[in-house]
Amino acid sequence: MATASRISLAKFTASVQAAVKSAIAKNPKFQGEVPDAISVCYLIRGIPPVVRAGGDPTVAEVQAFADDVAGGLAQAHPELLAAAGGTVRGAVISVGGHIIIGIPPVTETFELEQ
């Protein structure tokens, strides 16, 4: 069994906020404030993106936004999100008309602590 890595919940949340802020700046169809909470449901760790009025992003644009967020998190926490082969891709899921973007489950278990 793999040994769990530890990371501060405050540090991880700050990294999520920085990655989302950067992704919003790169993707003009998305807007909103950075999240103040992290969802750990839907088998991905993620946030609901807020789309600008009239933005209507394509699936490819939603994936690009998720990739930007995941890339920012991978830079901030390479020990947790190192991809086999290089690039970390974001995850996108739509359930009941709600879109959640984030990072896919990592193969190694890790604990979030305050």
CA quadruple 59, 60, 66, 70: dihedral sign? positive
Beta-carbon contacts of residue 16 (< 8 Å; ≥ 6 apart): 34, 35, 38, 47, 69, 73
The residues that bridge with 39 in the sheet, in sequence order, are: 46
Neighbours of 82 (CB within 10 A): 14
Neighbours of 20 (CB within 10 A): 24
The residues that bridge with 31 in the sheet, in sequence order, are: 50
pLDDT of 110: 56
Tell me phi and psi for residue 39, to 5 degrees: -90, 135
pLDDT score of 42 more than 50: no
DSSP 78: H
CA quadruple 24, 36, 100, 51: dihedral sign? negative
pTM for this model (two decimals): 0.58
pLDDT of 1: 44
More confident residue, 64 or 52: 64
Where residue 93 falls among pLDDT bands split at 50, 70, 90?
Answer: confident
pLDDT of 64: 92
